[in-house]
A = this chain, B = another copy of it.
Amino acid sequence: MRIALDAMGGDFAPEAIVKGAVMAAHELKNDEVILLIGKEDIIHSLLKENGYTGSNISVMHAPQVIEMGEHPTKALTQKPESSIAIGYGLLKAQKADAFCSAGNTGAMLVGAMFSVKATEGVLRPSIASFVPKLSGGFGVMLDVGANADCKPEVLEQFGELGSIYAKYVLDIQNPKVGLMNLGEEEGKGTVNTQAAHQRLKVNKDINFIGNIEGRDLFNDKADVIVCDGYTGNIILKMAESLYEILHEKGMTDPFFEKFNYEAAGGSPILGINGNAVIGHGVSSPRAVCNMVLQAQKMAASKLSERFKKNFSS
């Protein structure tokens, strides 16, 4: 298995990325390789600095870098030799089983749509995020920002995409799907969520448990939380800021520690023909390590093939 990793993406790249790769390498099996993509001289010297001499990391040269502030589509067109373009090229050619980057989020999304493309039948691929549960473990929420507006049929598909992810990557049997709403009752919500509720209710591929509310985010009502990207993004950023506030106040607790983005490492893109994970811009080595391990698990569970199978039927 080969996991491509953008060595140049992220606020602390390439140092933090290479460090994170070395951490992850120690967790991999013999036949699992991290393919570090970026300026090879810099990467080699950083690997040396970190004392890595193992065989779980190899390096692929990419002379160009897409910076954090660049316009995604323009940057991808103008920089075909960038680490993100090359990473997706490898994913498309099946020379990598997964690709992850803590770089330009927009470029990671656009790159996915341009190269491996959406799974046939999937209306809108989605970025998912982990939701820590009070009882332990994580749930998954989608979308968290790729699609601000979502039609009911798109929200319905998020239920399927999230269920597949929860089942095969989070190891949750028969994951419970909840629709984020302003009330539990079926008739509550926006015109869109009301219509989505009706679609989710009759979808036989998922275990829909109905509407959930903002107070249910961290309890066990739902493993898969379905919402549009506008709502998911607000929830995610609010949770992140609360983690920071608690941290600054010196209030620590194992549950709230799971709010730390480092725990999951990155947000998977669901509903594309490949396994891709987007890391946080400020990714630390620990976050990069966890992002790689998440990508490894997605690849090992053949996630993108499962999407394909689900939506082709």
Given contacts A149-B190, A251-B253, contact A245 B230 (CB under 8 A): no
What CA separation (Å) do A278 and B134 show in the bound complex?
31
What CA separation (Å) do A246 and B230 show in the bound complex?
27
User: Which of A8-16, A45-53, A233-241 is found at the contact surface with chain B?
Assistant: A233-241
- CB within 8 Å of B: which A237-260 residues: 237-242, 244-246, 249, 251, 253, 255
Given contacts A148-B189, A233-B182, contact A241 B253 (CB under 8 A): no
Indicate if A202 sits at the interface (CB-CB under 8 A).
no
Given contacts A231-B231, A235-B234, A238-B235, contact A148 B182 (CB under 8 A): yes
Of the residues B182, B216, B240, contact of A230 by C-beta under 8 Å: B182
Q: Note all chain B residues with C-beta closer than 8 A to A234.
A: 180-182, 213-214, 231, 234-235
Q: Note all chain B residues with C-beta closer than 8 A to A230.
A: 181-182, 189-190, 193, 231
Q: How close is A93's CB to chain B, nearest CB, in angstroms?
A: 33
Q: B217–A238 contact, CB under 8 A?
A: yes
Q: A245–B218 contact, CB under 8 A?
A: yes
Q: A149–B191 contact, CB under 8 A?
A: yes
What CA separation (Å) do A97 and B161 show in the bound complex?
53
Interface string of A213-229 (1 = CB under 8 A from B): 11111110000000011
What is the interface of chain A mostly: helix, strand, loop, or mixed?
Answer: helix
- CB within 8 Å of B: which A124-160 residues: 134, 145, 148-149
Q: Note all chain B residues with C-beta closer than 8 A to A193.
A: 148, 230
- CB within 8 Å of B: which A183-199 residues: 183, 188-193
Interface string of A71-101 (1 = CB under 8 A from B): 0000000000000000000000000000000
Q: B236–A214 contact, CB under 8 A?
A: yes
Q: Note all chain B residues with C-beta closer than 8 A to A215.
A: 237-238, 240-241, 244
Q: Note all chain B residues with C-beta closer than 8 A to A240.
A: 214-215
Q: How close is A179's CB to chain B, nearest CB, in angstroms?
A: 12
Q: A214–B241 contact, CB under 8 A?
A: yes
- Nearest CB to that of A228 among chain B residues? B190
**Known A148-B189, A215-B241; further 14 A-B contacts with Cβ < 8 A:** A134-B245, A148-B193, A149-B190, A182-B230, A183-B233, A190-B228, A190-B230, A214-B236, A214-B237, A214-B239, A218-B241, A231-B234, A235-B235, A246-B251
* Chain A interface residues (CB < 8 Å from chain B): 134, 145, 148-149, 180-183, 188-193, 213-219, 228-231, 233-242, 244-246, 249, 251, 253, 255
Please give me the 6 A-B residue pairs with the lowest Cβ-Cβ distance, nearest first: A214-B237, A214-B238, A215-B241, A182-B233, A214-B234, A215-B237
